[in-house]
Amino acid sequence: MTMLPFDDRDGFIWYNGEMLPWRETKLHVLSHGLHYASAVFEGERAYSGNIFKMQEHHERLHKSGELLGFEIPYSVEEINKASMEVLERNGWTDAYLRPIAWRGSEMMAVSAQKTKIHVAIAAWQWPSYFTPEARMKGLRLDWAVWNRPDPKTAPTSSKAAGLYMIATLSKHAAEAKGYDDALMLDYRGQIAESTGSNVFLIQDGVIHTPTPDCFLDGITRQTVIDIARSKGYEVVERAIMPEELAKTQEVFLTGTAVEVTPVASIGDYTFTPGDITRDLLVAYDEMVGKPAV
């Protein structure tokens, strides 16, 4: 199967306040964001023409920029409007959106206070392919080869491009061994997240999830916690060690891309996706207005 490259597609991308043809949205090879990872981004989903949690995503984009020491030159409201325009101009209703902000090419050194901050918003179609039943089969995870860093060593509460390098390395290593993804530990050896999603464990009817003190507190994560509590489930945020998987009955991941997806195994530990996971999966689908497959 030939993959359509992301730099050679039909459509339109919002770029620094203008709607440009897809192939014309380029940046210079000496952009600071490319060389020093001084970029922040968001991943969002549109369902039936509505971008889920759009305000929260764009508020976080601004906060991530602040954590990297720069100010995004467009307000949250302007980015909201531009994101809807991207969907409308491309004629899509079910799509993935990628707003990104990065330092430009005015300075090429570690010091980059005078660089221009660029902003772009792209989107591509992302329809619903799998029924809840198909997703309930669960993913197979390996253990990641890298750990999430200490907050004293990186801006871990930002959605910064540089923080995903070890996620890419870990996912590639897992996929090379036949797994779907990898579970990352943190710098203390505690369970953190997958390479791009938050993780939840169900033990004797109680939902447990790691405290997000050195990785991103996902918007989908927060949403699922709210759903679970509204349904009467107990949700405990705490430090979780890997050996606790031995007494765990269900595991699931949450994120914009995976939504709510069960896990069938992590390394040698196996789980049976069950009623609680399915209940939250279906409730999340209903909340976002996911079209029936």
Per the prediction, the chain carries an average pLDDT of: 95
Q: Which of 63, 81, 159, 247 is catalytic?
A: 159
Buried b (16+ CB within 10 A) or exposed e, 53-75: bbeebbbbbbebbeebebebebe
Residue 79 Cα distances to 42, 62, 237, angstroms: 12, 10, 32
271-283 confidence digits (pLDDT tens): 999 999 999 999 9
Nearest to 69 by CA among 35, 117, 107: 117
pLDDT tier, 2 (very low <50, low <70, confident <90, very high otherwise): low
The amino acid at 31: S
pLDDT of residue 132: 77
Task: Answer whether 243's CB lies under 8 Å from 215's CB.
Answer: no
69-127 confidence digits (pLDDT tens): 999 999 999 999 999 999 999 999 999 999 999 999 999 999 999 999 999 999 999 87
* Angle between helix 54-67 and 219-230 (nearest 10): 130
Q: Which of 5-14, 105-114, 124-133 has the lowest mean pLDDT?
A: 124-133
**Catalytic status, residue 159:** yes
CA distance 62 to 41: 9
Whether residue 293 has pLDDT greater than 90: no
SS3 content of the chain, % helix, strand, coil (to 5): 30, 30, 40
pLDDT of residue 133: 80
Nearest to 198 by CA among 150, 278, 253: 253
The amino acid at 131: T
Quick one: CATH architecture of 132-288?
A: Alpha-Beta Barrel (3.20)
CA distance 179 to 184: 14
Concatenated DSSP letters for 226-253?
HHHHHTT--EEEE---GGGGGG-SEEEE
Please give the structure tokens belonging to residue 40. 């922040």
pLDDT of residue 76: 98
pLDDT tier, 129 (very low <50, low <70, confident <90, very high otherwise): low
> Would you call 89 exposed, middle or buried from its count of C-beta atoms within 10 A (0-12, 13-18, 19+)?
middle
Task: Answer whether 121's CB lies under 8 Å from 20's CB.
Answer: no
| Torsion angles phi and psi, residue 142, rounded to 5 | -100, 175
> What integer is the mean pLDDT of 221-248?
98
Alpha carbon dihedral 123, 124, 127, 130, in 10-degree steps, equals -100
Phi-psi region of 16 (alpha: psi -120 to 50; beta: other; left: phi over 0): left
| Torsion angles phi and psi, residue 224, rounded to 5 | -70, -35
Where in the chain is CATH 3.30.470.10? 12-125
Where in the chain is CATH 3.20.10.10? 132-288
170-206 confidence digits (pLDDT tens): 999 999 999 999 999 999 999 999 999 999 999 999 9
**What does CATH list as the number for 12-125?**
3.30.470.10
Whether residue 292 has pLDDT greater than 70: no
Percent of the chain with pLDDT over 90: 93
